[in-house]
Amino acid sequence: MKITPSNFKGKQSSRDWIERQMNDPYVRRAKEENYRCRSAFKLTEIDGNYKIIKPGDIVIDCGACPGSWSQVAVERIRQKGKHGYDDNQGMVIAIDLQDIEPIDGVTVFPKSDFTTSETQSKILRVLDGRHANVVLSDMAPKASGNREHDHDAIFQLCLSVLKFSSHVLDSGGHVVCKLWDGRETNKIKEVMNRMFTTVKTVKPDASRSDSAEIFLLGQYYKLRKS
């Protein structure tokens, strides 16, 4: 049965958003499974299908706020042994322009612009010469309402993720990058095809059907020099 907000006196658009959240099964699941946001299930589906995150991996999560992707990643990098999970296995680094509440087992860079050389230098210092196995990006610009402008903005974010990935990914590593589908989608795929053995367009079930949101998955980074 559909749930509707009662005694709500705000704008209709706000009422519609609240009603959608109240009736969203992924919102309910996120609360039940202690994830910070429903977007966790986008990554669990992608990783469930393509097995990109493994125990002991180093994962960089760009645009991490509120932290649900980092929660998923840190669960999956931990090696389970006889005495439970070994917290010393692997590493997750989370970056976002907004503040991020601490996440157990995650190195967090809150209020940090991933696209700047300053922030990227901080990440490199934490890596300390190691290469990442997975780079995740759920980054998106603040929507302006102009679809072409918003597509161009997220296109630039994707390019920044791929450029940084070319410096930090280990051979055979993977990238997941969010994009709002549009005129530059094929251009991003062309760049990724030069970088990765396999490139796929993924639309998880948790990604709302009325959204232009897609995820580009690049698997098996092939440009790392030995």
The residues annotated as belonging to the active site are 178
Distances (CA, A) of 90 to 101, 107, 224: 21, 11, 20
CA distance 57 to 76: 9
179, 185 contact by CB (below 8 A): yes
**Residue corresponding to tokens 């090696």:** 79
The secondary structure element, H or E, covering residue 169 is strand 169-180
Query: Across-strand partners of 62?
Result: 95, 137
Question: Phi/psi of residue 46, each to 5°?
Answer: -60, -45
CB count within 10 Å of CB 107 equals: 16
| Token couple for 74 | 């840190």
The C-alpha atoms of residue 17 and residue 34 are separated, in whole angstroms, by 22
